[in-house]
Structure 1
Amino acid sequence: MTDTIKVTKVAESKISDVDFSKLSFGTVFTDHMFVCEYENGAWKKPEIVPYGPISMDPSAKVFHYGQAVFEGMKAYKDDNGKIFMFRPEENFNRINKSSERLAMPAFEKDYFFDGLNTLLNLESDWIKPGNDNSLYLRPFVIATENGVSASPSSKYKFIIICAPAQAYYSGEVKVLFADQYSRSADGGVGFAKAAGNYAAQFYPTELAKKRGYQQVVWTDANTHEYLEEAGTMNVFFRVGDKLLTAPTSDRILDGITRKSLIELAKSEGIDVEVRPVKVSEIVEAAENGTLKEMFGAGTAAVISPICGFTHKDKEFDLPKLEDAYGARLKQHLTSLQANRAEDPFGWRYEVPSMTV
């Protein structure tokens, strides 16, 4: 595999300077990164190089027209030192789907998997075994052609960087149901992991944080009557013993953790409904005591329990359950991801061992 990828190693690893017990998510990066350039209608030979700054012209189109997409993935190490990824082909398909929506070129599948396999072997020491430990992988594509004409770029960079990770959220998570701002609209780019989607939601999320909430749960742009997803997570609601979540659409990200949890829940005999979820029904369920739990689901967050929500200045607290679906599903999912449980779904991808 490495014969397709030029590898330039660091002179000395910085891993000894890292306190793995005190990681702040996405702030510490490994020694190397994967880089591949696109020009003249084709992807060039990829490289793995020391992690560091990249030089770009101020007129690069990513800065002016926002052609940028990304993915979030994780690698895990079991107690025998084997490295695994979780459903990586889904991430590959989704980044190309996102790229297509922003008029960017699809990436080569062989380069994607060869790059990840080589990079993970090279950075193996950064992947710690054990509960909540992982290596977060961030593939992304940016437009690099110089010039400020309003048109798609003819040049791009595909890069993968890696960050050792533990839990994304610590402590309790409270959310605000949106009733003014919107994350996405019909016919837009809400389904894509486009960088601009996240930039557009930062302002209303900051307003919510000033009021003591960690996330906004977005509602449909037309009426604000239907709950969709949170800023970094898809959202599940347990009403009685039934688990509800919104269907995907061109407004909602097709979350890989989301779709996996739906299948896991069904396999455990949990009644799951994928359908439009009204704000009014969740408020009513909270008022009459049938709303048992809410949780967010995503690659970085895995599953984050939501302890309460607010809608139109009315606050609701959720009960603390002994047998919470969220905790049960998280334990099942993380055990499967890290090779501590059987994988009847075929989701786990073992990274082939190689000398780099």
Structure 2
Amino acid sequence: METSESLSAYKQNKSVKDRLRHHFLTWLRLTNQPVVKLYRGFGTNASLTVHGSVFRRSALPRKTYRNSIFLNLFGLLRLFLVRPYPHATVRILAGDQLAETQSDTDGYFRVDVPLTKSLSCGWHTVHAQLIAASSENVLNECEGQVLVPPHTEFGCISDIDDTFLVSHSATILKRLKVILTRNAHSRQPFEGVVAHYQLLAEANSGSNATNPFFYVSSSEWNLYDYILEFSKKNGLPEGVYLLSPLKQFSEVFKTGQGKHMTKFARIVRILEAYPNQRFILLGDDTQEDPNIYAALVRHFPERIVAVYIRQVHGKNEPKTRDILREVEVAGVPICYFAHSADARKHSLELGLIAT
């Protein structure tokens, strides 16, 4: 049987260990407190799709962006030191409705909340609470934004890496170099892409409305704040982001290498949410965008306005041209371009944007 002295020593050692661990995590700008996080959602005036993640350990927001390889490497790696909180109870307040859901094994949750009162078009604030399993205590809470888009002439669904963000996705060593040594402020968009996207957002949308943008990527939710900060800094149209499941630290070298067909399913979810809306698809030739977009044209031929594919990886050009030829035969305009100026010219010729 343990003596009172040994129990006291054990508690003291444990307390010291806990304090050291707390200081180490603080130095890393990580927190071991339970956290619920909402991502930008989307919906209609009848229903909202609210989604997010629950964490046992999560990264605190980055405060400074300095041109330091060490700080950029450190800032990126800690995003993969998160620990998801599976099977956690989350309470959602959206519009005038309350809903409860549970996170999956990756800590992710998504819930469709039906509304009894219609919401106007635009961004709406929703709230989430993380509820303790053994009681009704609120462990953490946050708020997020959900977009109810207006019905416009078209919406846009865009990939991220190598579509508007220079990422070198086709070459793993180059991709790792750029993502590990640069930050959301030092990364670069392709020349002219922001101006093209802004024109697409504003075109023929009417007063006080813009064409909705959805950014669908194989990049993980670990990079959500990183991508959002990059988009804000560079003036990309505000939109909804649908990324891939969280990765752990051991998988950091596989970032952006998710199951690409889940991307097809995420885009289908958008198309089904807005059955009367047509969409422009924008991607690149480094991975599976041409195949995914061709499959969407086969399934939804009347819903796709045009397909834009950025030419980044020369080895994929013959295959990409064959795929896009099928899309064009199906009656959907295509633009396979190396420079955003060519994509912008194509949009102008189709009457999608004005000069």
State the TM-score, normalized to the length of structure 1. 0.31
The structure carrying a bigger helix percent of its residues is: 2
Higher relative contact order (CA 8 A, sep 6+): 1
Which structure's CA Rg is the greater one?
2
